Structure 1
Amino acid sequence: MTRILGIDPGLRVTGFGVIEKAGNQLSYVASGCIKSKEQDSLPQRIATLFKGISEVIATYQPDEAAVEIVFVNVNPQSTLLLGQARGAALSALVHGGLPVAEYTALQVKQAVVGHGKAAKEQVQHMVVRLLNLGGTPTADAADALACAICHAHGGLGGMAGLGKGAYRVRNGRLIG
């Protein structure tokens, strides 16, 4: 059995999701959000994120981690801030001794929904179905769970390798 921690990084809200994979079966363990205060300085927010992920690692003892690669092109300042949050998340995971795989939103949506241009609501719906949840997690927690599911479906040699080899994107789908 492998326990996987998925992370959807954000400076204000970072989603986390923990699942277990036993053979082809996936099961839900936990999910939630790590939130920083808007009035906090950037270093305080980064510290909150690092400590929060470290606490999740200590509590749920995952074996592997998966992080969404975030692309924001509209506002350069937002992109830089998000990159710093992502760096804090990666640092906490590595500091926790976890192997880390990284996935684009396209890869995550393809693995969970079957289409790379899926809406957030579709991702949430499929996360509920795939993990047989009784309720719908928040968008950030669902994205983190989806990242963990993506990793469970392919692992470091599977989905993480897409886009680096002979795969292309056509109409929001990854094709070989």
Structure 2
Amino acid sequence: MPSPLPSPLVVIGLDPGLANLGLGAVREAGRELTLLGSALVRTSPRSPQAERLLALYQATEAFIVAHRPDAIVIEGQYFHQQRDLAFKVGQAVGVALLAAARHSVPVFEYGPLQVKQALVGSGRASKAQVTFMVRAMLKLPTTPDPSEARRRPFGIVGRSLELREPEQREGVSFDSHHVADALALALTHLSYRRMKKLVAGGL
């Protein structure tokens, strides 16, 4: 009797930042990887900090509700030479953790070297190489025409969206490295998960 097919797994990758927060949802069904959606959440430095954090929380929670993930993945290293920037990134991470906890979604962390190793096979891989592998693994088309976003300002374009403050208009966002980094984190988690299953199976 053939073994039952594994249930599809949905993973959200999150690239934290106070000014720009990238989100990407990927579904794994057997060997098939599918991009469910991505979002770039931008907040204005002119807005009060509390309002910016609230906007990040609301957008992250809405993304979680929309995609019902089995796991959320964030970057595990927040060190930066600029202390103020590191503090702001830490605040964005806290907002993401709160949204995940509210919906009982487990959170996993991977460092940049782990992402490069999992997707490219080398810890010295460039960001361009990582982005190339993200596109290849998800079978993504070329970047959509930005004019399409202007014609459909509140529609999903190229399976991605962008939330801008204050008008919160949607448009093409995959060109943002924040979105690419978020998707890379999701794919890294799925890659390590497959590896662990192979090891557990005796390979």
**TM-score (ref. length: structure 1):** 0.83
Whether 1:56 and 2:63 are equivalent positions in the alignment is yes
Whether contact under 8 Å (1:66, 1:103) holds in the other structure is yes
Q: Which residue of 79, 104, 115 maps to 2:111? A: 104
Q: What is the Cα deviation at residue 33 of structure 1?
A: 0.7
- Cα distance in 1 between the residues matched to 2:64 and 2:194: 19
Q: What is the Cα deviation at residue 23 of structure 1?
A: 2.2
- Cα distance in 1 between the residues matched to 2:119 and 2:138: 11
- Residue of structure 1 equivalent to 2:186: 148
- Cα distance in 2 between the residues matched to 1:78 and 1:33: 19
Distance 1:71 1:156, change over 3 A: farther
Point out the more displaced range, 98-107 or 111-120.
111-120
Name the SS for the 1:121 alignment partner.
helix
Q: What is the Cα deviation at residue 73 of structure 1?
A: 2.7
2:127 alignment partner AA:
K
Q: What is the Cα deviation at residue 115 of structure 1?
A: 1.7
1:142 alignment partner AA:
A
5+ residue gaps, structure 2: 1-7, 144-173, 197-203
1:147 alignment partner AA:
L
Whether 1:32 and 2:32 are equivalent positions in the alignment is no
Number of equivalences:
158
- Residue of structure 1 equivalent to 2:157: none
Name the SS for the 2:12 alignment partner.
strand
1:140 alignment partner AA:
H
Flag the structure with higher strand content: 1
- Residue of structure 2 equivalent to 1:91: 98
Whether contact under 8 Å (1:67, 1:147) holds in the other structure is yes
Q: Which residue of 62, 82, 88 maps to 1:75? A: 82
- Residue of structure 2 equivalent to 1:116: 123
- Residue of structure 1 equivalent to 2:54: 47
Tell me how large the CA RMSD over aligned residues is: 1.7
Whether 1:4 and 2:11 are equivalent positions in the alignment is yes
